[in-house]
Amino acid sequence: MAEEHDRSMMDNLYWWGIPTIFRCVNQPPDGYDIALVGVPHSTGNGTTERDQHLGPRALRNVSAVQRRVHSVFDIDPWSCAKVTDVGDVSFPRANDNEDCIARITDFFGSIDATGARPVSIGGDHSITGGILQALGSGNLAGGQSVSLLHLDAHTDVFTKVDHFLGAKKSAAHWGAYLADQGKVDPTHSMQIGLRGHPRTMDWLQPSYDYGYNIVTMREFRQRGLADVVAQTCQVLRDRPVYITFDLDCLDPTIAPAVSNLEPGEKGFDIDEAIGLLHAARGLNIIGGDVVCMMPTKDNPNNITALTAAAVMFEMISMIAENRQKGAEQ
């Protein structure tokens, strides 16, 4: 008993032991409810800000300190669901974005076949395209297109250019090509927090053309959290839901180490962001991701990595709660 207590104490020290995500076992996804995945990819952003591939290792390094019960949900997610860290997607041609996206799709297709729900840490936002090429219309989605809960400063539906500095299935394009493929249903998806400084006045038009339900940051401030949550619940209801969380939706004072900072307008504080995530509570969440962390630009206290881990924990907890209540479809 004393030995078990001592190990429990040590498991909460992020600098001790083998750094799996949230101290979860490293096993294949078969027989598990939730598969945690690292996606160390950074060539889909196409800019000089390319060390987003270091995100998974940074989160693994600190996540043990946040392995906790969920006091709001009144659950221990690690007891409610079987959770494994399946490791990282392999990228032997890491500078070839299109090859990387194909490898992501293959990797997540294997997870989808097992029934484990993947929650991932990236990596730039192009990884969502690769993931949903596998999950959209797949096993977990019951053959349906996926509804997105997409928190971001940017639309990632930039159809006016055919590639982003060479990357076709880029961080700027996935919201469009997934809809074209029928993997995502924009009319039952939410894009919340958009505030990127536009180069043209019609920067939101492609999202509107596809039918995405858009709430800009300015509109969010005017309407308030409760009203946006109510809309989100209505739009996503009775659908397979995938959550994608770009850390640049947060205010830079909270998450400074992200690839595309938008400091000109206040982003979400962490309570607002988590409140929006909880709009998916009780819905059929088939997976989620946290993207765009730049560990080499983080504060010495690793605040962005810790914040990314906190967001990931919320996704895990909502899926685990569903598992406990038998709410998964």
pLDDT in tens, 205-240: 989 999 999 999 999 999 999 999 999 999 999 999
| Fold (CATH) for 2-325 | Arginase; Chain A (3.40.800)
Domain boundaries, the chain: 2-325
Separation of first and last alpha carbons in the chain: 39
Q: How confident is the model at residue 106 (pLDDT cuts 50, 70, 90)?
A: very high
Q: How far apart are CA 103 and CA 119, in angstroms?
A: 17
Q: What are phi and psi of 42, to 5 degrees?
A: -145, 15
Write the DSSP assignment of 94-126 as a string of letters.
TT-HHHHHHHHHHHHHHHHHHTPEEEEEESSTT
* Residue from 241, 232, 248 nearest 290 by CA: 248
Q: What is the pLDDT of residue 165?
A: 64
Q: How far apart are CA 280 and CA 148, in angstroms?
A: 10
Kindly list the distances between the CA atom of residue 174 and the CA atoms of 1, 159, 162, 180, 300, in Å, as whole numbers in the listed order.
Answer: 50, 10, 12, 10, 33
Residues 55-79: what's their mean pLDDT?
94
Residues 271-279: what's their mean pLDDT?
98
Q: What is the pLDDT of residue 327?
A: 59
Q: How confident is the model at residue 166 (pLDDT cuts 50, 70, 90)?
A: low
pLDDT tens-digit map of 110-132: 999 999 999 999 999 999 999 99
Residues 267-292: what's their mean pLDDT?
98
With a cut of 80, say whether residue 11 has pLDDT above it.
Answer: no
Kindly list the distances between the CA atom of residue 261 and the CA atoms of 112, 132, 264, in Å, as whole numbers in the listed order.
Answer: 33, 25, 9
* Residue from 129, 145, 144, 119 nearest 319 by CA: 119
Q: How far apart are CA 136 and CA 138, in angstroms?
A: 5
CA angle 79, 81, 84 (to 5 degrees): 105
Percentage of the residues of the chain whose pLDDT score is greater than 90: 77
With a cut of 90, say whether residue 177 has pLDDT above it.
Answer: yes
Q: What is the pLDDT of residue 48?
A: 55
Q: How far apart are CA 274 and CA 192, in angstroms?
A: 13
Query: In one letter, which amino acid is 305?
Result: A
Q: What is the pLDDT of residue 176?
A: 93
Q: How far apart are CA 253 and CA 247, in angstroms?
A: 12
Residues 262-285: what's their mean pLDDT?
96
Q: How confident is the model at residue 159 (pLDDT cuts 50, 70, 90)?
A: confident
With a cut of 80, say whether residue 4 has pLDDT above it.
Answer: no
Higher per-residue pLDDT: 109 or 66: 109
pTM of the model: 0.95
Q: What is the pLDDT of residue 169?
A: 83
